């Protein structure tokens, strides 16, 4: 390649910045999609307040 065919340093920087921004936006969009689309499975939990320490119950049952 000749010097006339090489992209300028400024162009390369902006392309890299654009790729980084697109990756960031895409990753965040994926996280939002997964958070909205996923539904945790129902698990057994204590229905009444526990008598022992560290025995918790769900704030509100989803199923």
Alpha helices in the chain (DSSP H): 9-37
In angstroms, the CA 16 to CA 10 distance is: 10
* Residues in the chain, total: 63
**Which residues have CB under 8 Å from 63's CB, separation 6+?**
42
Q: How confident is the model at residue 13 (pLDDT cuts 50, 70, 90)?
A: very high
In angstroms, the CA 34 to CA 58 distance is: 23
Considering only residues 50 and 8, tell me which one the structure prediction assigns the higher pLDDT: 8
Query: For the chain, what are the domain ranges?
Result: 9-63
Q: How many CB atoms lie under 10 A from the CB of residue 58?
A: 13
Total-model pTM: 0.55
pLDDT in tens, 22-31: 999 999 999 9
């Amino acid at each position: 390649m000749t010097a006339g065919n090489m992209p300028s340093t400024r162009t390369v920087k902006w392309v890299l910045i654009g790729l980084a921004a697109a990756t960031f936006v895409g990753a965040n969009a994926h996280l939002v999609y997964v958070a909205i689309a996923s539904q945790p499975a129902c698990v057994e939990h204590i229905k009444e307040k526990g008598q022992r320490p560290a025995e918790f119950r769900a704030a509100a049952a989803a199923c």
